[in-house]
């Protein structure tokens, strides 16, 4: 912790305060007001680890502004990379327009620009003019999908109850030991996947007993959204897809870029209020690549 002067007033600048109950509670309060969720259950379950680092300014014990980073080790086409994803960018409405986000962003870039292979973020439409001031530029993502034709009546899926500690432990072990199914896959970051699987996607975790595979998936009428796959064995992706589709499913959409793309259609990914920005000096990483960051790696 240190005391800093921003816009003529002194604040406490604190990094990585997750184990301080008062500061974490203030952080959670602002997160709820800004985004409609918080990180407390994630913390209490032991999943908030040192890869998720908030950079914040406090007025006493009241959080004023925050920018968090996720340190994500990716296996990118077989090469280990350290990518830094920026997220949880927020400022208390009573303290806005005073330069707090700029102060924190400069601190983040100072710490990580030379200590990572890439810094990136996903921005909503209201701040598209903010990030280019720091050297970020928009980048494109591409999603893979496939039309499905099958006469199978039912799938071989068993939904896992994420309120069960045993099931959560089973999923964590599977994530940590899983083979890679993506050109760009997280390594050793079960905590971020568990953020989704114990909250927004708690009803989307399924086990295929015959293959000993866990999938994170949603069914929306005739479309199956397959967000990720976890298996300790080299089970072909086509076998996994065949085990989870039924005759009601007409299309499967992947939340990651498969290693073998030959049997998939590729489309430009456009999501409302979500624009990928990467540092301009690292844009070549995305040149001529039709890929996406895995959905479960978003922070």
Give yes or no: residues 22 and 70 share one domain.
yes
Give yes or no: residues 113 and 178 share one domain.
no
Give yes or no: residues 252 and 282 share one domain.
no
**Rounded Cα distance, 298 and 155, in Å:** 28
pLDDT value of residue 7: 87
Give yes or no: residues 21 and 79 share one domain.
yes
**Rounded Cα distance, 245 and 238, in Å:** 11
Beta bridge partners of 73: 82
Give yes or no: residues 52 and 37 share one domain.
yes
Give yes or no: residues 251 and 276 share one domain.
no
Q: What average pLDDT score do residues 188-201 get?
A: 93
Give yes or no: residues 41 and 135 share one domain.
yes
Beta bridge partners of 61: none
Residue 149 or residue 198, greater confidence: 198
> Helix and strand tally (H, E) in the chain?
6, 16
pLDDT value of residue 274: 86
Asked if residue 126 has pLDDT above 80, the reply is no
Among 9-13, 195-199, 264-268, 270-274, the least confident range? 270-274
pLDDT value of residue 199: 93
- Exposure string (b/e) for 268-283, b if CB count within 10 Å is 16 or more? ebeeeeebbbbbeebe
The per-residue pLDDT for range 15-42, each reduced to its tens digit, is: 999 999 999 999 999 999 999 999 999 9
How many CA atoms are closer than 13 Å to the CA of 153, on its beta-carbon side?
0
Instruction: List the domain range (segments joined by +) for residue 70.
Output: 2-141+270-297
Residue 292 token pair: 């996406």
The vertex-109 CA angle with 108 and 112, nearest 5°, equals 85
Give yes or no: residues 104 and 73 share one domain.
yes
Give yes or no: residues 204 and 215 share one domain.
yes
Question: Residue 27: helix, strand or coil by DSSP?
Answer: helix
Residue 78: pLDDT band by 50, 70, 90 thresholds? confident
Residue 188: pLDDT band by 50, 70, 90 thresholds? confident
Asked if residue 129 has pLDDT above 90, the reply is no
Residue 191 or residue 274, greater confidence: 191
CATH number of the domain residue 124 falls in: 3.40.630.30
Q: State pTM to two decimals.
A: 0.92
Say what percent of the chain tops pLDDT 70: 99
Residue 156: pLDDT band by 50, 70, 90 thresholds? confident
Residue 88: pLDDT band by 50, 70, 90 thresholds? very high
The per-residue pLDDT for range 232-291, each reduced to its tens digit, is: 999 999 999 999 998 889 999 999 999 999 999 999 998 887 889 998 877 777 767 889
Closest CA to 218 of 139, 134, 142, 296: 296
Give yes or no: residues 19 and 38 share one domain.
yes
pLDDT value of residue 284: 74
pLDDT value of residue 86: 97
Count of Cβ atoms closer than 10 Å to residue 175 Cβ: 21
Give yes or no: residues 151 and 76 share one domain.
no
Torsion angles phi and psi, residue 94, rounded to 5: -85, -5
Count of Cβ atoms closer than 10 Å to residue 28 Cβ: 18
> How many domains are there within the chain?
2
Say what percent of the chain tops pLDDT 90: 81
Give the max Cα distance, the chain.
69
Closest CA to 84 of 274, 228, 291, 285: 285
Asked if residue 190 has pLDDT above 80, the reply is yes
What does the radius of gyration of the chain's CA atoms come to, in whole angstroms? 20
pLDDT value of residue 125: 78
Give yes or no: residues 113 and 44 share one domain.
yes
Residue 174 or residue 124, greater confidence: 174
**Rounded Cα distance, 82 and 88, in Å:** 19
CB under 8 Å to 21, separation ≥6 — which residues?
none
Q: What count of residues does the chain have? A: 299
CATH number of the domain residue 185 falls in: 3.40.630
Among 90-94, 158-162, 233-237, 279-283, the least confident range? 279-283
Give one DSSP letter per residue of 96-118, joined into a string.
-SSSHHHHHHHHHHHHHTTSSSE
Q: What average pLDDT score do residues 187-201 get?
A: 93
Closest CA to 240 of 178, 285, 297, 188: 178
DSSP conformational letter for 256? S
């Amino acid at each position: 912790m240190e005391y800093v002067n921003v816009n003529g007033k002194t604040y406490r600048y604190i990094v990585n305060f997750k184990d301080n109950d008062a500061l974490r509670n203030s952080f959670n309060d602002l997160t709820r007001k800004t985004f409609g969720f918080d990180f407390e259950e994630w913390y209490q379950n032991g999943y908030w680890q040192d890869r998720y680092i908030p950079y914040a300014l406090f007025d006493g014990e009241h959080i004023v502004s925050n920018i968090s980073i996720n340190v994500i080790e990716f296996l990118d086409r077989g090469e280990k990379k350290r990518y830094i994803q920026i997220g949880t960018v927020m400022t208390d409405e009573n303290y806005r327009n005073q330069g707090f986000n700029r102060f924190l962003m400069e601190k983040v870039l100072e710490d990580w620009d030379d200590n990572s292979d890439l810094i990136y973020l996903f921005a909503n439409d209201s701040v598209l003019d903010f990030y280019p001031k720091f050297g970020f530029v928009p980048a494109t993502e591409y999603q893979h999908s496939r039309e499905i034709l099958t006469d199978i009546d039912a799938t071989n899926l068993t939904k896992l109850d994420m309120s069960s500690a045993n099931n959560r432990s089973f999923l964590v072990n599977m994530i940590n030991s899983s083979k890679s199914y993506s050109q760009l896959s997280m390594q050793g970051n079960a905590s971020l996947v568990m953020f989704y699987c114990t909250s927004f996607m708690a009803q989307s975790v399924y086990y295929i007993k015959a293959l000993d595979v866990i999938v994170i998936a949603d069914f929306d009428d005739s479309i199956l959204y397959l967000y990720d796959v976890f298996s300790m064995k080299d089970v072909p992706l086509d076998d996994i897809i065949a085990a989870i589709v039924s005759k009601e499913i007409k299309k499967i959409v992947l939340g990651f870029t498969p290693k073998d793309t030959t049997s998939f259609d590729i489309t430009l990914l456009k999501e409302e209020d979500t624009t990928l920005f990467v540092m301009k000096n690292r844009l070549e990483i995305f040149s001529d690549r039709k890929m996406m960051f895995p959905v479960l790696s978003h922070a």
